[in-house]
Amino acid sequence: MALDGHTPGGPLAEKWDRHRFDLKLVNPANKRKHTVIIVGTGLAGASAAATLAELGYNVKSFCIQDSPRRAHSIAAQGGINAAKNYQNDGDSVYRLFYDTIKGGDYRAREANVYRLAQESVNIIDQCVAQGVPFAREYGGTLANRSFGGAQVSRTFYARGQTGQQLLLGAYGSLMRQVHAGKVELYARHEMLELVVVEGVARGIVTRDLTTGKMESHVADAVLLCTGGYGNAFFLSTNAKGSNVTASWRAHRRGAYFANPCYTQIHPTCIPVAGGFQAKLTLMSESLRNDGRVWVPSAPGDQRAPEQIPEGDRDYYLERRYPSFGNLVPRDVASRAAKQACDEGRGVGATGRAVYLDFADAIRRDGESLIRQKYGNLFQMYEEITNENPYKSPMRIYPAVHYTMGGLWVDYNLMSNLPGLFVLGEANFSDHGANRLGASALMQGLSDGYFVIPYTLGGYIAGTPLTDINTSHPAFVDAEKEAQGRLDALLAVQGKRTVDDFHRELGLLLWDHCGMARTGAGLTQALERVREIRQQFWQNVTVSGSTGELNQALERAGRVADFMEFAETMIHDALARDESCGGHFREEHQTEEGEARRDDENFAHVSAWEFTGPGEKPTLHKEALEFQNVALTQRSYK
């Protein structure tokens, strides 16, 4: 099947407007006759739930945490982009569009990205109206900073807690609708199956995580806003509960998974300290505005950083990329750190770290200004490492952070399964092969506040649906299947814990499908994943029962899905025989070690169709057409 993104016609800048006019509308009085299931209460899910309820739809909202306010979005630090051009420094909708397409290494759909840039300005208005306490200038106007290598200042921020404040805004709006009776809230509920009736997504099966009870829910449409799959790697900066289950279950029911090999590895995280470690902590990218990245020039230099004179230091980002310096995009900075460590020049006890040094900034601006800018981050670093970054440089290393891949969606954010929409990090749509800093928050909120209210209406108004209820065989079967899987996990009664398997899977992916990949390594990893998955089903231990709160069982189910998903991710990395953005195939690099794209053969979205566990999925391609930007080799020199 040729995959059609349903991009509307007309000039780039007019597509969204024309499309909104062409979309059918649901009569206001009829909206209350339609029920919409929204899985996830992060920025994408909360904004969609609040907005659709405001419009009059009946909404059922689900999340796995005890409160919608605790969705993973809460942890986002650095900021949110918008083409407001309040700074008068040359920004525009077109520039944000262009930067995002280029930053994504020309692997995203032009029309989607342009719409995102257009809607970005509305997001800020909405959030300020909600009371989000963004940083301000002395005159009382909104402040901006430049972020993630952008050459204009378009990032809005609320100290180092932008995600928290944006999510609390969306959560407040959501709770207002819950209070008004327009949203039914199901916290501590996990979606375990998507229910498809006659080829159309019509509901979900959930498990009440408090009682263990399986429940079915019918709706006119299902929105997945369930976040990314970074935790496939076990160690990542994602919250512990972040998982691929909702997406994977939908994939198994027919939804295509697009570009699963596109993973973002963030350059500035606190390095791994030991085998017990539960997760990794991000140090905001904003630190690279003032911190200088370096390693000793000579391999094996064991001196303390203060004892290494200027002449023996290699500020490798400044050396290799004189015009962007420490502010090169994330994928470039991460790979450069890996390279330095591979050359034996890494620092710290593990040798897998580089310095992020503020000494010059402190000399230049004074400690108090640095404290004012980054105080909470420095404090966080000290709490975790027990070292004082005002005195000696931070040690940082890349870590898995974000996933650009996700369920395939068309311009309307609808998957290939009619009635199934996918928003936020869970879809693949806007960031291509690499996401720019401060653009995920923008995308989640654009999807939820400003895109889905229109496109969902178009679907509902244009699609006659049969009346069904949860006694339909599709629901009964899906419930049975979900219950069967849990019973099977409990029945194994093996010796190794879920975390133990998850750690092993994560290490394998990190080594072979992480910052650098090779055909041989990926082929080997594919074999190994299968073995681990087999061992998992033979030797995992999960205690307790299904009819109670059982965190071991919850995790086991998620890890089982990661195991299946990992194979698809590796297949995708193997099939994409080029380097682009976060996907670096060592076979394809320039003399200087930069990613070399192959636009002739790979300017497409790879969307995978499930064919059975352990089977090679079927590849569908959506060609990417660039009518507005010229494809060039990204250069940050």
Ligand X SMILES: Cc1cc2nc3c(=O)[nH]c(=O)nc-3n(C[C@H](O)[C@H](O)[C@H](O)COP(=O)(O)OP(=O)(O)OC[C@H]3O[C@@H](n4cnc5c(N)ncnc54)[C@H](O)[C@@H]3O)c2cc1C
Of the candidates 444, 458, 514, 521, which one interacts with ligand X according to CB under 6 A?
444
**Six token digits for residue 299:** 């391999």
Q: Which stretch binds ligand X (CB under 6 A): 85-93, 97-105, 410-418, 423-431?
A: 423-431
Asked whether position 515 contacts ligand X by CB under 6 A, the answer is: no
Of the candidates 19, 31, 36, 45, which one interacts with ligand X according to CB under 6 A?
45
Taking residue 625's Cβ as centre, other Cβ atoms within 10 Å add up to 13
Q: Binding mask 109-148 vs ligand X (x if CB under 6 A, - otherwise)?
A: ----------------------------------------
Asked whether position 544 contacts other proteins by CB under 8 A, the answer is: yes
Asked whether position 444 contacts other proteins by CB under 8 A, the answer is: no
Q: Which stretch binds ligand X (CB under 6 A): 101-109, 330-338, 432-440, 522-530?
A: 432-440
Taking residue 552's Cβ as centre, other Cβ atoms within 10 Å add up to 17
Burial category of 171 from C-beta neighbours within 10 Å (exposed 0-12, middle 13-18, buried 19 and up): buried
Q: What is the rounded distance in angstroms from the CA atom of residue 583 to the CA atom of residue 433?
A: 7
The site partner of 190 among other proteins, ligand X, none (C-beta below 5 to 8 Å per kind) is ligand X
Asked whether position 299 contacts other proteins by CB under 8 A, the answer is: no
The site partner of 579 among ligand X, other proteins, none (C-beta below 5 to 8 Å per kind) is none
Q: Which residue is closest to ligand X by CB? A: 42
Q: Binding mask 172-191 vs ligand X (x if CB under 6 A, - otherwise)?
A: ------------------xx
Which residue, 192 or 361, is less far from ligand X as judged by CB? 192
Q: What is the rounded distance in angstroms from the CA atom of residue 624 to the CA atom of residue 3?
A: 11
Residue 585 has phi, psi (to 5 degrees) of -95, 120
Applying the rule CB under 8 A, the residues between 306 and 335 that interact with other proteins are none
Of the candidates 31, 34, 36, 79, which one interacts with ligand X according to CB under 6 A?
79
**Six token digits for residue 188:** 């501590």
Asked whether position 39 contacts ligand X by CB under 6 A, the answer is: yes
Asked whether position 62 contacts ligand X by CB under 6 A, the answer is: yes
**Six token digits for residue 408:** 């395939």
Of the candidates 12, 26, 50, 71, which one interacts with ligand X according to CB under 6 A?
71
Shortest Cβ distance from residue 244 to ligand X (Å)?
8
Query: Are the C-beta atoms of residues 152 and 87 closer than 8 Å to each other?
Result: yes
CA distance readout (Å), 70 to 107, 175, 393, 555: 32, 13, 32, 18
Asked whether position 63 contacts ligand X by CB under 6 A, the answer is: yes
Shortest Cβ distance from residue 351 to other proteins (Å)?
5
**Six token digits for residue 483:** 């219950």
Of the candidates 72, 395, 502, 533, which one interacts with ligand X according to CB under 6 A?
72
Which residue, 158 or 362, is less far from other proteins as judged by CB? 158
Per rule CB under 6 A, count of chain residues that contact ligand X = 44
Q: Burial letters for 470-501: b for 16+ Cβ neighbours within 10 Å, e otherwise?
A: bebebbeebbeebbebbeebbebeeeebbeeb
Asked whether position 187 contacts other proteins by CB under 8 A, the answer is: yes
Of the candidates 3, 12, 50, 440, which one interacts with other proteins according to CB under 8 A?
50
Shortest Cβ distance from residue 558 to other proteins (Å)?
13
Shortest Cβ distance from residue 233 to ligand X (Å)?
12
Asked whether position 74 contacts other proteins by CB under 8 A, the answer is: yes
Asked whether position 23 contacts other proteins by CB under 8 A, the answer is: no
Taking Cα atoms as reference points, which of 408, 85, 375 lies closest to residue 259?
408
Asked whether position 506 contacts ligand X by CB under 6 A, the answer is: no
Applying the rule CB under 8 A, the residues between 196 and 225 that interact with other proteins are 210
Asked whether position 122 contacts other proteins by CB under 8 A, the answer is: yes
Q: What is the rounded distance in angstroms from the CA atom of residue 216 to the CA atom of residue 431?
A: 34
Applying the rule CB under 6 A, the residues between 203 and 232 that interact with ligand X are 225-227
Asked whether position 329 contacts ligand X by CB under 6 A, the answer is: no
Asked whether position 263 contacts other proteins by CB under 8 A, the answer is: no
Q: Burial letters for 99-111: b for 16+ Cβ neighbours within 10 Å, e otherwise?
A: bbbbbbbbbbbbb
Q: Binding mask 494-513 vs other proteins (x if CB under 8 A, - otherwise)?
A: -xxxxxx--xx-xx--xx--
Shortest Cβ distance from residue 308 to ligand X (Å)?
30
Asked whether position 521 contacts ligand X by CB under 6 A, the answer is: no
- The residues, any chain, with a CB within 8 Å of residue 175's CB and separated by 6 or more, are 68
Query: Are the C-beta atoms of residues 238 and 248 closer than 8 Å to each other?
Result: no
Q: Strand 221-224 to strand 35-39: parallel, antiparallel, or no bridges (unpaired)?
A: parallel
3-state secondary structure of 396: strand
Residue 221 has phi, psi (to 5 degrees) of -155, 155
Q: What is the rounded distance in angstroms from the CA atom of residue 178 to the CA atom of residue 187?
A: 12
- The residues, any chain, with a CB within 8 Å of residue 76's CB and separated by 6 or more, are 162, 163, 164, 166, 440, 441
Burial category of 271 from C-beta neighbours within 10 Å (exposed 0-12, middle 13-18, buried 19 and up): buried
Asked whether position 161 contacts other proteins by CB under 8 A, the answer is: yes
Shortest Cβ distance from residue 588 to ligand X (Å)?
27
Place of tokens 């965190």: 551
Long-range own/partner contacts, residues 175-181 (CB < 8 A, 24 or more apart): 175/68, 176/50, 177/49, 177/50, 177/53, 177/54, 177/59, 178/61, 180/53
Q: Which stretch binds other proteins (CB under 8 A): 104-112, 154-162, 517-525, 594-602?
A: 154-162
- Rule CB under 6 A: which residues touch ligand X? 39-45, 62-65, 71-73, 75-80, 162-163, 190-191, 225-227, 237-238, 242-243, 245-246, 282, 401-402, 424-426, 438-441, 444
